[in-house]
Structure 1
Amino acid sequence: MSTVIEQVVEARLVAAVPRMPTIPATLHYDRRDPFAVRITFPAPATLEGVEVCWMFARELLDTGIDRPAGQGDVTLRPYGYDRTVLEFHAREGTAVVHVRTGELRRFLARTVALVPTGDEHLYLDLDHDLAELMGGAC
């Protein structure tokens, strides 16, 4: 069984122009880091022209599709019947994207099938992580 889930979603970048451009974004979940999800935006969709990745808690994504959640760099909130707003805050500015809530729910369901909510701690390899932190000194 694969330990990684990737799903491409259609994101709409909120901009000053009336028509929001659609950009592909990839949601990523790895059982080896069971508390986190990652979303990656391709280079053409970013101001710097390089791929940009944001990592945040799976729990934040789960909460943010139903009610406003998060503080700091990443916030989420429902928008209308079928959209979720994701805001990414950095020194360079703020990016606001809309994603279909159904796509996010499908992704979350796949992650929960791989690592059930509440069982994340069972998938951590603390001995390996500690050895990496200690640089093999153990």
Structure 2
Amino acid sequence: MSIVIEQAVQARMVASAPRMESVPATLRYDRDDPFAVRMHFPAPATLEGTDISWAFGRDLLAAGVDEPAGVGDVRVRPYGFDRTVMEFHAPEGVAVVHVRTTELRRFLQRAQGVVPWGREHLFLDLDQHLTELLRDAR
């Protein structure tokens, strides 16, 4: 049985103009995918006008609230007293959002309650994933 936690957060979109706009976002953690976190942005918050979800490592998020982390599509770093900057890099451009660090820490603590750090491998269903891979290879 899958256990999923979701947490709504307010993200402050950093635009090229000096104003910052608050957009709703949702953080999601699923025990069946124990290494990943997903951040969902609804259609009104995106340039394309479609829902967008980004998947990235739970460990990346945990590291990024304390020090700069990530070199790929998702980068996370602390900013000021209680903000964390999250950068999402795509071919269309870069989205930069600020999220309250306390909200991210609360989310990470809830995720740890579902799957403790260092125990992620115990929640992987490798047999199921292998079966799916082999079925798709036919």
TM-score (norm 1): 0.96
Once the two structures are superposed, residues 44-74 of structure 1 have per-residue CA deviations (whole angstroms, 9 ceiling, x without a partner) of: 0101000011000000000000000001100
What residue identity is the alignment partner of 1:21? E
- How far 1:2 moved relative to its partner? 6.2
Tell me how far apart the structure 2 counterparts of residues 27 and 15 of structure 1 sit (CA, whole Å). Answer: 21
What value does the CA root-mean-square deviation take over the aligned residues? 1.4
Q: Structure 1: which 4+ aligned runs deviate by more than 3 Å?
A: none
Tell me how far apart the structure 2 counterparts of residues 133 and 55 of structure 1 sit (CA, whole Å). Answer: 20
- Map 1:1-138 → 2, pairs under 5 A: 3-135=3-135
Tell me how far apart the structure 2 counterparts of residues 2 and 102 of structure 1 sit (CA, whole Å). Answer: 26
Percent identity reads: 66
Unaligned 5+ runs, structure 2: none
Aligned residues: 137
Tell me how far apart the structure 2 counterparts of residues 136 and 29 of structure 1 sit (CA, whole Å). Answer: 26
- Counterpart secondary structure, 2:121: helix
TM-score (norm 2): 0.96
- Counterpart secondary structure, 2:38: strand
What residue identity is the alignment partner of 1:39? M
What residue identity is the alignment partner of 1:78? P
Once the two structures are superposed, residues 70-122 of structure 1 have per-residue CA deviations (whole angstroms, 9 ceiling, x without a partner) of: 01100000000100000000000000000000000000000000000000000
Unaligned 5+ runs, structure 1: none
- How far 1:136 moved relative to its partner? 7.7
